[in-house]
Amino acid sequence: MKLIRRAFYAFLLLCISLFVLKGWLYRSFVTYKSIGTRTSYQITNAELDSFFQTSSLNQDADIDEIINGSLQLTKERLSFVFAKSDTDPNKLFSSKKTHCVGYASFFTTFANSGMQKNKLGQNWEVEHHIGVLYLFGYNIHSYFNSPFFKDHDFVVITNKLTGETIAVDPTVYDYLRIKRVTYCN
């Protein structure tokens, strides 16, 4: 009985440790490399604009608050699908279903709007990237035959003055709540 109890506690401790360290583990083993960028969208949909105006991104937010707020707004508004879907945030606001391209596009639009609203746009740039993921140094996309898995979209935020980069994957945030990813130029 003691052996079963000890095994249970060890398993429980392992599960808690993996949960607590999931972000660190993900950033340690998965690397994002850019193979291109996509065009950013401006908010033109009145409902989307109203949604943005009532968000916390408008109230003296710093860069981290804008990034975290944009991740949260994207997670709350979108649901992932494998099917072909809209990628324009102005359309996604109504359809709500998209894949990684739409997630990155939606996030980029919110982050750019938040930067402009908080007068951070002169120092920070938000770019929607097309990339490939490397797990333990191996390109994982080469293991899939489907065109759907040929690449993956994510976002890079760069400080124009210092060169500091922050990479985020809104899709991964939606599923795993990991706020930052490892990006290699």
| 168 and 66 Cβ atoms separated by less than 8 Å | no
User: Phi and psi at residue 128, in whole multiples of 5°?
Assistant: -85, 115
Reading the block at residue 156, the tokens are: 């890079």
3-state DSSP assignment of residue 139: strand
The pLDDT confidence band at residue 58, using thresholds 50, 70 and 90, is low
Q: What is the mean pLDDT of residues 48-58?
A: 81
Q: Please check whether residue 23 is in contact with residue 180, taking contact to mean a CB–CB distance below 8 angstroms.
A: yes
Tokens of 109: 């639009």
Q: What percent of the chain has pLDDT over 70?
A: 99
Which domains, and CATH codes, for the chain?
31-184 (3.10.620)
Instruction: Output the average pLDDT for the chain.
Output: 91
Residue type, 127: E
**Alpha carbon 118 to chain centroid, angstroms:** 21
pLDDT tens-digit map of 90-148: 999 999 999 999 999 999 999 999 999 888 889 999 999 999 999 999 999 988 888 77
Return the DSSP state at 62.
Answer: -
Amino acid 122 reads Q
CA angle 125, 179, 137 (to 5 degrees): 90
Short-list 152, 166, 60, 57, CA closest to 102:
152
CA–CA distances in Å: residue 106 to residues 47, 62, 144: 14, 19, 26
Contact 114, 70 (CB under 8 A): yes
Q: Considering the entire predicted model, what is its pTM?
A: 0.90
The phi and psi torsions of 55 (rounded to 5 degrees) equal -80, 165
